Structure 1
Amino acid sequence: MKFGYTIIYVPDVSQALDYFNRAFGLSTKMLHETGLYGELETGQTTLAFAAEMLAYMNYPKGHLSPHSSDVPLGIEIALVCDDVPAAHAKALAEGGTELAPPQDKPWGQVVSYVQTPERIVVELCTPVK
């Protein structure tokens, strides 16, 4: 078994893809003709977005939407980059919200946290040494 992909349910798949394109430089791999599902070019593991209505089709009780609370959900997407302060500033300039500014961690990483307009928590970090 291997980890294949992560799907995040969002109100508007196209808008989520657009933000990740602009803020993080991740290209759209595909957007289904219905607009209900799309994927980003992220390397070996796929990051995908699906329309919230698909959650109800997949499992009847649906899901807890990040739009239902001011507190972030207990999950984050980590994007590794060489220049965290620049990536953090770009994410904010494109409409993200700062959760924590870039910080040097004791184990040698630089890490920051932003929240996308869809309220997805994104960790921006340098590679682990």
Structure 2
Amino acid sequence: MKFSYTILYVKDVVQSVAFYEKAFGLKQQFIHESEQYAEMETGGTTLAFASNELAKSNLPQGFQENSLLNLPAGIEVGFLTDDIVAALSRAIEGGAVVVADAKVKPWGQTVAYVRDLDGILVEIASSM
């Protein structure tokens, strides 16, 4: 088994792609003409977005939609950087909402948390 991708269910795929480009410096790899699915260039593991409508068609019994109005789901997307201060500043300028400012963890890693436009928790961290 190989971990291949993570898909984030979002309200507006195109808007999420633009946000992740601006806030985290990612580049769009692919967006379907329906604008219901997109992938970002992230290296070995793909970060993808799918619309809530597509999620509903995949999950007929329903799911909890991501929203800034609710507490974040018990999952996070993590990005590593050499400059936490600059990365956090860029994320905020891109529209991210700060959850926790940068803090050095007991194991030596510096970590900050923000939420994206759909309320998804994003960790910005230094390498170990």
TM range (shorter): over 0.9
> Alpha-carbon deviation of 1:69?
4.5
Aligned match of 2:98: 98
Aligned match of 2:118: 118
> Alpha-carbon deviation of 1:63?
1.3
Aligned match of 2:71: 71
Q: How many residues align?
A: 128
- What SS is found at the alignment partner of 1:66? coil
Unaligned runs of 5+ in 2: none
**Where do 1:20-99 residues align within 5 Å?**
20-67=20-67, 69-99=69-99
The AA in structure 1 aligned to 2:48 is: A
**Following superposition, which runs of at least 4 residues in structure 1 exceed 6 angstroms of deviation?**
none
Identity %: 43
Q: Give the alignment's TM-score, normalised by structure 2.
A: 0.96
Unaligned runs of 5+ in 1: none
The AA in structure 1 aligned to 2:3 is: F
Q: Return the alpha-carbon distance in structure 2 between the equivalents of residues 51 and 59 of structure 1.
A: 12
The CA deviation string for residues 26-76 of structure 1, in whole angstroms up to 9 with x for no partner, is: 000000000000000010000000010111211202210122853111110
Q: Give the alignment's TM-score, normalised by structure 1.
A: 0.95
- Superposition CA RMSD, Å: 1.1
Q: Return the alpha-carbon distance in structure 2 between the equivalents of residues 14 and 4 of structure 1.
A: 22
